Amino acid sequence: MKVLLPFLSLFRRQWLMMSIGLLLTILTLAAGIGLLSLSGWFLSAAAVAGLSGVGMNYFTPAGGVRGFSIARTASRYGERLMTHEATFRILTDLRQWAWTSLLPLSERNLTCMRRADLLNRLVADIDTLDHLYLRLLTPLTAFVLMMLALFGFIGWFDWQLAILLCGGLLTAWLVLPLLFYRLGKTPGTATLEGRSSYRVALLAWLAGQAELALFGATEKQRQQLDVVESRWLASQSAMAVVTGLSQAALIIFHGGILLLMLWFAADGVGSAVPPGPMMALPVFCALAVFEMMMPLAGAFQHLSSCLLAAERVSELTSQQADITFPITSSATAHQGAIELQNIVFGYNEQPVLNQLNLNVVAGSKVALLGKTGCGKSTLLALITRQWQVQQGQVLLDGTPVEQFDEATLRSAMTVVSQRVALLAGSLRDNLQLAVTDKVDDTRLAEVLTQVGLAHLLEGQGLKAWIGEGGRQLSGGEQRRIGVARALLRDAPILLLDEPTEGLDRRTEQEILKLLFAHASGKTMLMISHRLTGMAEMDCIHLLDGGAVKASGTHLQLLSSEPAYSALYNKLH
């Protein structure tokens, strides 16, 4: 249960809305019980009065019945409105808290977590936690308070009947939740895990449609998806059985309480012996308490899924960030000099960089070349602090990157990565991400034209929707939007990771020309597998075995490095 404490503490932010919802829930239950109890007594008293010919005031109880009826309708509407509004606000707070906890985490923190699983925790698991307020806290608290009120009300007429009714309700409050928590624990956990597994498998199946079709594996993968779905449906079926049993047990329990109240009320209510019309009041009151008992069995069925959801979300939010930044810092990087000293780094005990040293002079254009897996992209990740060096230091203008606050470090760099992240939004939205200040549409259109995307401005222009992940665009167009973002930023350091990958030779030359012009007076560090534009570089470093194997200009490497010369001749 301790795992729920951080989430319960967050509920305090919505204490007023939650309290109003609880109050309206109690009023709804009180109005329902009062309506049925008064109606039962009124009908019994009217029948007795009619048979005996004794006069009776019909107007007061009739007005009371109408008043309870109106009050129940109004309070039920208000209760639904307020409890669900409180739930939505609680879920909003939970998501904000989860995202706030997630944002500082580095690649290393999330490296063992699949994206689909991460999405499921942030969406479905947090949604599951709404049961804490809507199906646990509110109905159970309202039950206890109403039970105390009933004890006082029935005890006003007959203490024995009050003890009988409230004792039965207390027994139900203690026994039924515990019983059905145990019965619902296994299927509840299985349902939550099954939903998570199915979503992960489904997203993997959808994302891999092209490859599955090409290799003829669509049917096999679909069969595996069907197996996961069958397990999930089986757990839901088991949970439905527990729900049915809980409702049956609730009806039997309530029926037993009602029979006992009828039996003992038949001997008299308080001083009224024989009981007469007064017998109907506690009996109908016992009949009406079924509404307040209804959430008992179902509430704790969901406790197991709430506990598991809380554990899964807490596993994510309780992590300590592998990379931390100072809150404020006086460190700056206006010149853009980059120095890497004795860098050692690897993934999962697999060494990538070994005692690597590299010096990039401020304002120079430097290229990193090497075969796949030699650590080129890793170097950029260390400079941008997506990963933390294990040994050695990364310096910007002579200052270790660890001394920069995050805002200053980010503002000092413009990065074009291998994977261009595009959001489900308009062209304008995706370009505006590159800068903090708003850029006018004329400038955005100019940049798109520069990178060869003027055709995207036709039709809706910058309002054009590019789809989730840029699915409306080709791979080359997505790459050019990444370049367009770089042209919008004015930072002293320009980091390029295969910026022209997927582009034809002519377009590649045009894009590099734009980038070189943009990099005038800036420090540019570019990773490439191709040798286009290498003649423009001030220095080229060849990486091999986790270290710099050779360095020099394009002409120097052509004459001194056979591997470089052979690659140049092959590509040209």
Residue pLDDT, tens place only, 283-337:
888 888 888 888 876 666 667 778 878 888 888 888 888 888 888 888 888 888 9
Q: Is residue 462 part of a domain?
A: yes
291 and 423 both lie in a single domain: no
The domain boundary, picked from 317, 346, 372, lies at: 317
378 and 284 both lie in a single domain: no
Token pair of 75 as six digits: 């309070």
What digits encode the pLDDT tens for the residues 513-537?
889 999 998 999 999 877 888 888 9
Is the model more confident about 281 or about 494?
Answer: 494
Query: Do residues 106 and 321 touch, judged by C-beta distance below 8 A?
Result: yes
364 and 254 both lie in a single domain: no
Q: For residue 66, give Cα distances in angstroms to 31, 32, 37, 59.
A: 11, 12, 13, 10
The domain boundary, picked from 273, 288, 317, lies at: 317
483 and 544 both lie in a single domain: yes
Of the listed ranges 17-26, 44-53, 83-92, 345-354, the least confidently predicted one is 44-53
Q: Is residue 330 part of a domain?
A: no
Query: Is it the case that residue 279 has pLDDT exceeding 80?
Result: no
What digits encode the pLDDT tens for the residues 123-158?
778 888 877 777 788 888 888 898 898 888 888 878
> Residue 554 maps to which CATH number?
3.40.50.300
Query: Is it the case that residue 26 has pLDDT exceeding 80?
Result: yes
**Distance separating alpha carbons of residues 476 and 347, to the nearest angstrom:** 30
Query: Do residues 522 and 493 touch, judged by C-beta distance below 8 A?
Result: yes
Q: Is residue 328 part of a domain?
A: no
Q: Tell me the residue range of the domain where 159 lies.
A: 2-317
Token pair of 204 as six digits: 């993997």
Q: Burial letters for 91-117: b for 16+ Cβ neighbours within 10 Å, e otherwise?
A: eebbeebbeebbeebbeebeeeeeebb
Q: Name the domain count of the chain.
A: 2
Q: Is residue 326 part of a domain?
A: no
217 and 294 both lie in a single domain: yes
CA angle 528, 530, 536 (to 5 degrees): 80
Q: Is residue 421 part of a domain?
A: yes
**Distance separating alpha carbons of residues 175 and 520, to the nearest angstrom:** 76
What confidence tier does 184 reach under pLDDT thresholds 50, 70, 90? confident
Q: What pLDDT sits at residue 395?
A: 93
375: left (phi over 0), alpha (psi -120 to 50) or beta: left
Helix locations, 361-440, DSSP H: 376-383, 406-411, 427-432
Q: Is residue 136 part of a domain?
A: yes
Q: What pLDDT sits at residue 276?
A: 63
290 and 375 both lie in a single domain: no
What confidence tier does 452 reach under pLDDT thresholds 50, 70, 90? confident
Rounded to an integer, the average pLDDT of 188-197 is: 84
Q: Is residue 103 part of a domain?
A: yes
Query: Is it the case that residue 159 has pLDDT exceeding 80?
Result: yes
Among 197, 192, 228, residue whose Cα is nearest residue 301: 192
The domain boundary, picked from 285, 317, 349, lies at: 317
**Distance separating alpha carbons of residues 332 and 405, to the nearest angstrom:** 9
Query: Do residues 524 and 489 touch, judged by C-beta distance below 8 A?
Result: no
> Residue 14 maps to which CATH number?
1.20.1560.10
Q: What pLDDT sits at residue 360?
A: 92
Q: Which residue type is seen at 550?
A: A
Q: Is residue 291 part of a domain?
A: yes
Mean pLDDT over all residues of the chain? 84
295 and 388 both lie in a single domain: no
Query: Do residues 108 and 390 touch, judged by C-beta distance below 8 A?
Result: no
474 and 352 both lie in a single domain: yes
313 and 344 both lie in a single domain: no
Token pair of 146 as six digits: 């109403």
Residue 349 backbone dihedrals phi, psi, to 5 degrees: 65, 15
Query: Do residues 549 and 542 touch, judged by C-beta distance below 8 A?
Result: yes
Query: Is it the case that residue 495 has pLDDT exceeding 70?
Result: yes
453 and 540 both lie in a single domain: yes
Query: Do residues 344 and 420 touch, judged by C-beta distance below 8 A?
Result: no
258 and 378 both lie in a single domain: no
What confidence tier does 359 reach under pLDDT thresholds 50, 70, 90? very high
Query: Is it the case that residue 273 has pLDDT exceeding 60?
Result: no
**Distance separating alpha carbons of residues 453 and 467, to the nearest angstrom:** 16
Query: Do residues 23 and 107 touch, judged by C-beta distance below 8 A?
Result: no
Query: Do residues 456 and 427 touch, judged by C-beta distance below 8 A?
Result: yes
Percent of the chain with pLDDT over 70: 96
**Distance separating alpha carbons of residues 17 and 84, to the nearest angstrom:** 10
251 and 352 both lie in a single domain: no
Q: Burial letters for 119-130: b for 16+ Cβ neighbours within 10 Å, e otherwise?
A: ebbbeebbebbb
